[in-house]
Structure 1
Amino acid sequence: MTDSATSGATADTDAHESHHERSQWPVVSAIGAGLLYAGVALFLLGRATDVIPAIVGAIAGVVGFGAFVAGLVGWLNQAYLAGYWRNQASARKRRAYRATMILFLVTDVATFAAGFTYYVFVRIGGWPQDLPDVLTSLVLVNTVLLVLSSFTLHFSHAALENDRRNRFLALLGVTILLGVAFVAGQVLEYYEFVVGEGFTLTSGIFGSAFYGLTGLHGLHVTLGVILLGIVFWRARRGQYDSDRDTSITTVSYYWHFVDVVWLILVLMLYVGAEITV
């Protein structure tokens, strides 16, 4: 390759990467996430007081979630799908993608840490004695499903690295099904608590802690299922191989993080509720 051709290719790569860095989609996702959190807060405020109708918060939350997902999809399309067959990210750019996901997860640790800190403070204080039995067989089943999904995702990625494409797709599909089953199990759990036992978000300090933490985690799992679905869709189009798997790596980071958080949540919230002092 001549110097001029090399310079042209470098310029094209720099322009492509610069275009990604100027993307408006992360801003859309950030606004959507902020609106989602605000909507949840307004919904809870509306349920507890007459200051604002709860429906306003619900609508804001739905719109925020839609904007958040739209931003992610737009960002994905611009950064990965558009010109996918013409461009390949450099090793430096792939490292940057992985580092960005790790930094995001570090900030997410702070989000969950705030919730766990709240739980510890209310746990140390006056603890209600008439708690519902939250440590049920459904929790154990959900835990097994989520832990198993981390293994299937790991071995799916390993299969791709060994050029076993059919195994990669099959295990990735199983991972998505396990994630969907987990979310369905959590919805069933909420239904049994709310309808069957009358245990709701407004059922004292434990109710707010329980639904706040499990709901936050459930939101993360739902997002993870969406991300895995996008990865599966791209995989079906043949857009991954052993040398082009950055998206799978970053989504795996996220999914394993969600799995670890769930194990901590089970120990602190579900098992912890059974301990009386």
Structure 2
Amino acid sequence: MTVTDDSTEDHGHHLPAVEDWPKGFGEASWWPFVTAIGAAGFYIGAALYVLAESDSLDLVGPMVGPAVFVGSTFVFLAGLYGWVYHAFVKHFWTRETSGGEGLRWGMLLFLGSEIATFGAGFTYYFFIRAGAQWSEAVQHVPEGFLGALVIANTLILVASSVTLHFAHVALRNGNRSRFLGLLATTLLLGVVFIGGQVYEYYEFIVHEGLTLSGGVFESAFFGLTGLHGLHVSLGAVLIAIVLVRALKGQYSADRHTSVTTVSMYWHFVDAVWILLVVALYAGAVV
């Protein structure tokens, strides 16, 4: 199967990599591997930034970490694009089977790994919370830490889960216009949430003096909320891809695998945020 075979003038779609890529590996795709390299770069960039902030030997420059993080973002998005197109879009246009059940189970396995990732972060935080140095660790928590912005952002993210759920219901009921409207609303709410997180970081860093290397609580706070913000951003990218595909006429009551899997991911990050608010925000002030 070649790129020419998959491209049609009727739909104007294209395949970023042939089925056999790289050559000689059968039908194995390297797009997940590329995506994983980009994701690993996020952690490496963050680690280099912390090292630069705390290293008295000046082994790492202050801009190395951010540069690695930005570069990893492009690698991650490129891999994600190829992966999503390979797994979903090509099969839809060619009317091939896309292995819906397999992809759903794949998402469940992926979410299992995500539970382990966030579980490690929460474990670190709970060790801090139970330690003897807790009162000292939260001395610099600003007033209003669990304030109106956090509550508003939480309501926005919960609302986005509701709109996405009913968008999926509308699609399965054949109501395409309602599906598109609720899907676009979900994406808008997700973007607003990300904007609220950026504003909160601005307030805490610029006006309150909190930094990633400021102490054990600050590292837990920025580590967990930053990891979650990265996942919400990824979810927004996935929803945007689904929305573009929907606007091009894809999806129907019996063909909606990618809508299902993206919904599973989005509901997961929403649930993690509620846990963060209870354990991290409320846990810091009570």
Q: So what's the TM-score if we normalise by structure 2?
A: 0.86
Aligned partners of 1:150 and 1:259 also within 8 Å: yes
- Show CA shifts across 1:183-202 (max 9, x none): 00001101111111112222
Of all paired residues, the percent bearing the same amino acid is 53
Aligned partners of 1:101 and 1:250 also within 8 Å: yes
- Show CA shifts across 1:24-46 (max 9, x none): 11111111111221111111211
Runs of 4+ in 1 over 4 A off after TM superposition: 16-21
Cα drift, residue 204 of structure 1: 1.5
> Secondary structure of the residue that 2:84 maps to in structure 1?
helix
- Extract unaligned runs of 5+ from structure 2: 1-17
Cα gap change, 1:179 to 1:21, in 2 (>3 Å) = farther
- Show CA shifts across 1:208-258 (max 9, x none): 111111001000000000000000000000110011100000000000000
Are positions 1:229 and 2:240 aligned together? Answer: yes
- Matches for 1:83-232 after TM superposition, within 5 Å: 84-89=92-97, 93-125=99-131, 126-127=133-134, 128=136, 130=139, 131-133=141-143, 134-232=145-243
Cα drift, residue 21 of structure 1: 5.1
Aligned partners of 2:91 and 2:97 also within 8 Å: no
Q: Which residue of 2 aligns with 1:22?
A: 28
Are positions 1:252 and 2:263 aligned together? Answer: yes
Cα drift, residue 87 of structure 1: 2.2
Cα drift, residue 61 of structure 1: 1.2
Cα distance in 1 between the residues matched to 2:19 and 2:66: 38
Q: 1:53 aligns with which of 55, 58, 61?
A: 61
Cα drift, residue 78 of structure 1: 2.0
Cα drift, residue 64 of structure 1: 1.2
> Secondary structure of the residue that 1:54 maps to in structure 2?
coil
- Show CA shifts across 1:151-194 (max 9, x none): 00000000000110000000000000000000000011011111
Q: Please identify, of 213-222 and 198-207, the stretch whose mean Cα deviation from structure 2 is larger.
A: 198-207
Cα distance in 1 between the residues matched to 2:178 and 2:142: 43
Q: Which residue of 2 aligns with 1:79?
A: 87
Q: 1:62 aligns with which of 63, 70, 73?
A: 70
Cα gap change, 1:83 to 1:267, in 2 (>3 Å) = closer
Cα drift, residue 83 of structure 1: 5.3
- Show CA shifts across 1:54-108 (max 9, x none): 2111111111121111111011222222353222326xx1100000000000000
Q: Which residue of 2 aligns with 1:263?
A: 274
> Secondary structure of the residue that 2:60 maps to in structure 1?
coil
- Extract unaligned runs of 5+ from structure 1: 1-15
Cα distance in 2 between the residues matched to 1:235 and 1:106: 28
- Show CA shifts across 1:126-156 (max 9, x none): 1125222310110000000000000000000
Cα drift, residue 18 of structure 1: 8.6
Cα drift, residue 48 of structure 1: 1.7
Q: Which residue of 2 aligns with 1:31?
A: 37
Cα gap change, 1:101 to 1:21, in 2 (>3 Å) = farther
Cα distance in 2 between the residues matched to 1:46 and 1:17: 42
The alignment covers a number of residue pairs equal to: 258
Cα distance in 2 between the residues matched to 1:47 and 1:161: 51
> Secondary structure of the residue that 1:141 maps to in structure 2?
helix
Cα distance in 2 between the residues matched to 1:69 and 1:216: 16
Aligned partners of 1:44 and 1:54 also within 8 Å: no
> Secondary structure of the residue that 1:270 maps to in structure 2?
helix
